[in-house]
């Protein structure tokens, strides 16, 4: 199944950011059958310093030109049924670690669409194309209920995300429903403490009230307990501190709370939150270069998911560094951070070598594509982080439900209590 033609176009993410979509026409050389596949790159607002370059110098127009001049001529004729063949060609064409010539957006959109085309050509689901016949584990959905920080234009709490995750659901539908129900019920509790709140949501569909971080966690704990008792599901709470956006080079600045914290004070503050609210998930509690503080927190809470995003940026070398230091028990995997599915697979393999759990994640500016659900299943991720509300979020959750239905009795949903 050879690529016969390749196009690129500008489209928009759910946040209104411009991104690129790549389209391939593939022909079965034996039968003449034609299929068309498309895929787009998501766009993050909080980008780690060590991510690949999203667009080359010159922006989206330069990315489009690079695809047409450098990428398209080289991938035409390649066989999409051979996994990662296109990814290897992208590496060869660009020749830089951060995809500085063609841009990470072009790289990941092309990598995604090649995998989509390969799966379609073989008549198998994308998750099976990526993970093989034994890709049967369904990840638990981790959802953003209350939002603050950069994703909420700094109008809400200083902490960026207040999250929930069902730990022992009987099936993926119940898991998704649990998060949805918590999100809906939280609103009336918010209105009790922020009477001026008009129901605003952030880029990822989380409520954005003017409340403190502690108040947000108290509300979330109360509602999660209520929903959990009704559904018979244990629900864990989590936070994404996005601490690189709080760090000024010397201290962590919590502007809305009027507080500054040193690295040691940050460690004590996060530890207190974990203990007081029994947090099972803590993402980016320190800035992206502070491996040592990550390691100290992980040592204190070995039974929790202490997770690196900006710390690792889906980069195998940084994951290896963190693994040697025992800096985390989990790693965020965002394929667009590293540029291709081949590199993503290498990052996951490295994390597994150090016993880390895998959390496949969306971006704040995501698209309506379902691809991430298949990537999570194909890579055997324990968790998928993809919001709760909004079309670009629910398309992935709904696809996860379909995958569970397709797998039927072979499906096995993750269960997380304590590590």
Using alpha carbons only, what angle is made at residue 395 by residues 394 and 398, rounded to the nearest 5 degrees? 80
Sign of CA dihedral 165, 168, 173, 177: negative
415 is in an annotated binding site: no
Helices (H), 17-57: none
Q: Which of 319, 405, 389, 394 is nearest to 359 (CA)?
A: 319
Sign of CA dihedral 388, 161, 204, 357: negative
CA atoms within 13 A on the CB side of 285: 34
192 is in an annotated binding site: no
CB 361 within 8 Å of CB 382: no
361 is in an annotated binding site: yes
In this structure, what is the dihedral angle of CA atoms 15, 162, 387, 167, given to the nearest 10 degrees?
170
Q: Which of 88, 93, 105, 95 is nearest to 52 (CA)?
A: 105
189 is in an annotated binding site: no
Using alpha carbons only, what angle is made at residue 236 by residues 49 and 228, rounded to the nearest 5 degrees? 145
Neighbour tally for 77: CB within 10 Å = 9
Residues marked as catalytic: 204, 334
370 is in an annotated binding site: no
| Nearby residues of 250 by Cβ (< 8 Å), 6 or more positions away | 262
Whole-angstrom CA distances from 144 to 59, 78, 89, 161, 172 are 30, 40, 37, 6, 17
- For residue 91, give the H/E element and its range: helix 85-94
**The sheet that has 34-40: what strands, in order across it?**
2-12, 18-27, 34-40
374 is in an annotated binding site: no
CB 301 within 8 Å of CB 326: no
309 is in an annotated binding site: yes
68 is in an annotated binding site: no
245 is in an annotated binding site: no
d(CA 94, CA 107): 9
CB 388 within 8 Å of CB 166: no
| Nearby residues of 152 by Cβ (< 8 Å), 6 or more positions away | 160, 202, 206, 208
57 is in an annotated binding site: no
49-63: b (≥16 Cβ within 10 Å) or e: ebbbbbbbeeebebb
Binding-site residues, please? Answer: 151, 160-161, 240, 283, 309, 334, 361-364, 385
Annotated binding site for substrate: which residue ranges?
151, 161, 283, 309, 361-364, 385
Binding region for Mg(2+): 240, 283, 309
Annotated binding-site positions for (2R)-2-phosphoglycerate: 160, 334, 363-364, 385
């Amino acid at each position: 199944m050879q690529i016969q033609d390749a196009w690129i176009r500008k489209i928009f993410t759910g946040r209104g950011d411009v991104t690129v979509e790549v389209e391939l026409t593939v022909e079965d050389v034996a039968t003449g059958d034609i299929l068309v596949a498309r895929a787009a790159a998501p766009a993050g607002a909080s980008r780690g310093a060590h991510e690949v370059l999203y667009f080359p110098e010159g922006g989206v127009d330069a990315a489009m030109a690079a695809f047409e001049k450098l990428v398209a001529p080289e991938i035409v004729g390649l066989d999409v049924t051979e996994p990662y063949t296109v990814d290897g060609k992208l590496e060869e064409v660009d020749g830089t670690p951060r995809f500085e010539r063609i841009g990470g957006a072009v790289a990941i959109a092309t990598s995604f669409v090649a995998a989509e085309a390969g799966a379609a050509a073989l008549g198998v689901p994308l998750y099976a194309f990526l993970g093989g016949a034994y890709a049967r584990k369904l990840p638990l959905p981790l959802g953003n209920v209350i939002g603050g920080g950069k994703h909420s234009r700094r109008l809400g709490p200083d902490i960026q995300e207040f999250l929930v995750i069902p730990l022992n659901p009987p099936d993926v539908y119940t898991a998704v429903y649990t998060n949805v129900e918590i999100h809906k019920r939280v609103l009336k509790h918010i209105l009790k403490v922020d009477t001026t709140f008009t129901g605003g949501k952030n880029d990822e569909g989380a409520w954005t009230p003017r409340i403190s971080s502690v108040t947000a966690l108290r509300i979330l704990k109360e509602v999660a307990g209520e929903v959990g008792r009704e559904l018979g599901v244990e629900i864990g709470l989590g936070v994404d501190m996005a601490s690189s956006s709080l760090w000024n080079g010397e201290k962590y600045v919590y502007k809305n709370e009027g507080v500054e914290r040193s690295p040691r004070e940050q460690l004590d503050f996060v530890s207190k939150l974990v203990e007081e609210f029994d947090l099972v998930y803590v993402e980016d509690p320190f800035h992206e270069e502070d491996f040592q503080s990550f390691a100290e927190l992980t040592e204190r809470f070995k039974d929790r998911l202490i997770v690196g995003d900006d710390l690792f940026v889906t980069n195998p070398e940084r994951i290896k560094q963190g693994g040697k230091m025992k800096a985390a028990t989990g790693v965020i995997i965002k394929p667009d951070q590293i540029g291709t599915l081949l590199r993503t697979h290498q990052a996951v393999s490295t994390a597994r070598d150090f016993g880390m759990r895998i959390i496949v994640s969306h971006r704040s500016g995501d698209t309506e594509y379902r691809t991430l659900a298949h990537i999570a299943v194909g890579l055997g991720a324990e968790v998928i982080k993809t919001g709760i509300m909004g079309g670009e979020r629910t398309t992935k959750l709904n696809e996860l439900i379909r995958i569970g239905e397709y797998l039927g009795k072979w499906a096995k949903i993750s269960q997380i209590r304590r590590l």
